[in-house]
Amino acid sequence: MRQSYARSRSLRVGPQILAAGAATGPLAGTSTVVKDLFAIAGHRIGAGNPDWLAAARVESSHAWAVKRWTDAGASVIGISHSDELAFSLSGTNVHYGTPVNPAAPEHVPGGSSSGSAAAVAAGLVDYALATDTAGSTRVPASYCGTFGIRTTHGRIPMTGVVPLAPFVDTVGVLAATGEAMQRAATVLLKPGARPQVAAASPTEIVLATDLLALADSDTAAAVTAAARGLADVAGIPVTETTLAGVDTLADWQQRFSARQMTDIWATHGTWVTSRHPHLGPGVTSRMRQAAAADPEQARLAEEGRAMVREKIESTIPSGGVLAFATASGPAPRIDLPGTAKAELRSRTIAMTCVAGLGGLPAVSLPLSTVSGLPVGVCLVAHPGDDEMLLAAATVADRMLAPTRRVKP
């Protein structure tokens, strides 16, 4: 598999040693790539846009997360492509091209951590650094058939990372196996809010029927079957619930979008208006929406975060996880018309924004397929329960083991 990475077009820089890892540590002897938002000493951050790259300074130090990995023994061998400013879920960058989705070459890899997902799926590295705002780790993990975790908001410092919407931005990790993701992410996680479940696997899986209903029917069926299979392997019960209902889910999405757009314009508006950068059509359209966003609506997100967390606390038992589809369906074809892509994107964000608005940890597990294309199972947990989700990913390894055996 490692010989296929050259065809994935996943890197802006590399593969070559950009930052050597320490000789000892939990990640010693491994290599990784990092999304083109993270500072690497001696290199410039490109943020998926040539105009940004041209004006960027050479970084004098690593981003916090990069330094944690190199101190733990990981060597950085590449800077992976990102959607422009991380403001997309498709992975189709008009400037650098679309990284090839090794699991479905005619389909998008997902964004905005497209290069990191493609590099992992193609076998260049076992794990990679990403970010997640509206699903930028989880969606490419689902589309490319890898593991991916969005960490609890604030548990991993974003120092040295180009922001998009700070209220919801988090560090993410993509990996080929649950064990690799657990090892790599554990190095990054600062002490959590719920240490009583830090090393435990989930004790219950709760299927969110209203969130599953947002996905295509065949995707919902495949994810439901896979979640029940995971529960069987783990020896835990499965229950069903309506998390919030159609109207409340729509309200959460509106609150999420209002804050995301306001934050994005506060973060990048001055650069856009002063530099007039060349942006792709999709990013240009969304940036116009951000420019027109009402800052007064941003306060709705704080209320929304409290609402989501209260609902999770009252619905999901301690030690339990909420399960539904990571995305509304498998990766769409690259040539799918823009209107159809927009509809899929809207339904997907309606699902991903639950963790985003709530600041919750979430994993995507590559446990299901639809018509031969990967479809991720998303597990969302209480804030601070990142380690429990990582433990669940290692259980998923056992479920996938038969498909990974080398045939004689």
Identify the DSSP state of 147: E
Angle between helices 178-188 and 386-404 (to 10 degrees): 160
Catalytic-residue membership of 35: yes
**Catalytic position from the list 10, 35, 80, 201:** 35
Q: Which residues contact 124 (CB under 8 A, 6 or more apart)?
A: 2, 5, 8, 10, 11, 15, 33, 77, 78
CA–CA distance, 22 with 150 (Å, rounded to integer): 26
Q: Which residues contact 106 (CB under 8 A, 6 or more apart)?
A: 333, 334
**Catalytic position from the list 113, 114, 116, 136:** 136
Q: Which two tokens mark 136?
A: 């930028």
CA–CA distance, 69 with 28 (Å, rounded to integer): 9
CA–CA distance, 162 with 164 (Å, rounded to integer): 7
With tokens 């540590």, the residue in question is 25
Catalytic-residue membership of 346: no
- Which ranges constitute the DSSP H helices of 178-243? 178-188, 209-212, 217-234
Residue 107's identity, in one-letter code, is: H
**Catalytic position from the list 75, 80, 88, 112:** 112
Q: Which two tokens mark 272?
A: 């856009």
8 A C-beta contact, residue 377 and residue 323: yes
* DSSP three-state, residue 237: coil
Catalytic-residue membership of 136: yes
CA dihedral 322, 325, 328, 329 (to 10 degrees): 180
- Identify the CA nearest to 189 among candidates 371, 372, 391: 391
Q: How far apart are the two ends of the chain, measured CA to CA in Å?
A: 17
Residue 235 sits at φ, ψ, to 5 deg, of 70, 40
CB atoms near residue 205 (< 10 Å):
23
Residues labelled as active-site residues: 35, 112, 136
